[in-house]
A = this chain, B = another copy of it.
Amino acid sequence: MEVAEAAGVSASTVSRILNGTARVSADKRKAVEKAIVDLNFTPNVLAQSLKRGQSKTIGVITQAVDSPFFTETLKGIEDGISGSGFAALIVSGHWNPDEEAERVGLLMARKVDGIIIVSGNIPDDQIVRFSEHVPMVATGHGCESDRLRAIRVDNVWGGYRATKHLIELGHRQIAHIAGIPTLTDATDRLAGYKQALEEAGIPYNDALVVQGDFRESGGLLCANQLLDRGVPFTALFAANDQTAYGARLAFFRRGIRVPDDISLIGFDDLPGSPYTTPPLTTIRQPVYEIGRMAAAAMLALIGNKPFKIEPPQLELTIRETTRRLR
């Protein structure tokens, strides 16, 4: 390499200094260090990777980089690997299992040292199969194996807790805007809703449940639908905060006051939720912490170190969109 020549030593010596692999005499070290600065030299990570068989890169598959929900997790991952010498290669799967699988291929071709998959629609058994080739960490999935760690919150509990909060406030007619039915996050929350209802002896009413899409526009649409059905309700549990935002606007449009006329609870606790008017009561999901945990688990997996995943806890965050009935 160029530096070696300039410093009058062999390439090996330069490599040794760069990596601290072995002791080098002080004078040669000086010469090499000078040459490195003079030539503004940076080792070619590609060549290093090819040689070492690992690329110091962690692949991350997210679903939509534009959703605040994912970006918080991304930030956690980023913070978690920062300083470790690894970099994150981020790609999106857009909730499409085929696309996700293709992305996994893309990442493997780049010889990433591990893949973190943030939520998504890939079947669990396929993830297990992938993990035979490369260490994986999956959030929002339940499966584990030798080289696969899963991080998942208890969405059933979350749906249950949200609904129970409403019930505790005296509500009995509680509507629900569900999420995308193919995602277990959504169906789990719905299951929790039903469970809380049943526990309180409130019969489940199909007319009070409508299917959204986890986005604001869906929330707006669904709330209107709910209202148009004419079945009265005093509280609404939205499957996520974005849905709640949309529903909130629907209510606003019709002059329905929150929480005076209808109590509203969301799910996620997005960064914007403390700043809605009024601030949104919600189930806080520790997305940032999930990201950090995913990163830590991956680093441990790569380094063959033990790591215990503490399942992150959901938390009822009471703000001002829910109130006691009467």
A residues touching B (Cβ–Cβ < 8 Å)? Answer: 42-47, 49-50, 55, 57, 64-68, 71-72, 74-75, 78, 87-92, 105-106, 108-111, 216, 220, 242, 245-246, 248-249, 252, 271-272, 274-279
Query: Could you say which of A46, A47, A50, A55 has the most chain B C-beta atoms within 10 Å of its C-beta?
Result: A46
Tell whether, in the assembled complex, residue B66 and residue A55 are in contact, meaning their CB atoms are under 8 Å apart.
no
Report B-chain residues with C-beta under 8 Å of the C-beta of A110: 45-46, 57, 87
Compute how far the CA of A91 lies from the CA of B75 in the bound complex, rounded to whole angstroms: 10
Give A17 to B111 CA distance when docked, in angstroms.
22
Contacts of A252 in B (CB 8 A): 277-278
Chain B residues contacting A45 (CB-CB under 8 Å) are 109-111
Residue of B nearest to A88 (CB): B90
Contact A46:B50 (CB < 8 A) given known A249-B275, A277-B276, A278-B252: yes
Smallest CB gap from A105: residue in B: B42
Instruction: Check B89 against A87 for contact (C-beta < 8 Å).
Output: yes
Q: Are A55 and B46 in contact (CB under 8 A)?
A: yes
Most buried by B among A45, A64, A65, A276: A65
A279 to B220, CA, bound (A): 13
Partner of A46, one of B46, B90, B246, B279: B46
Interchain nearest-CB distance for A116 vs B (Å): 13
How far apart sit A73 and B7, CA to CA, in the bound complex (Å)? 44
Chain B residues near A91: list those with CB within 8 A.
Answer: 78, 87-88
Distance between Cα atoms of A245 and B274 in the complex (Å): 10
The answer, among B42, B248, B249, for a CB contact under 8 Å with A108, is B42
CB distance from A276 to the nearest CB of B (A): 7
- Inside 8 A of A216's CB, which chain B residues have their CB? 271-272, 274-275
The distance from the CB of A18 to the nearest CB of chain B, in whole angstroms, is 12
Ranked 3 nearest A-B pairs via Cβ: A252-B277, A66-B75, A42-B109
Contact B92 A78 (CB under 8 A): yes
Instruction: Decide if B78 touches A74 in the complex (CB within 8 Å).
Output: no
Smallest CB gap from A103: residue in B: B87
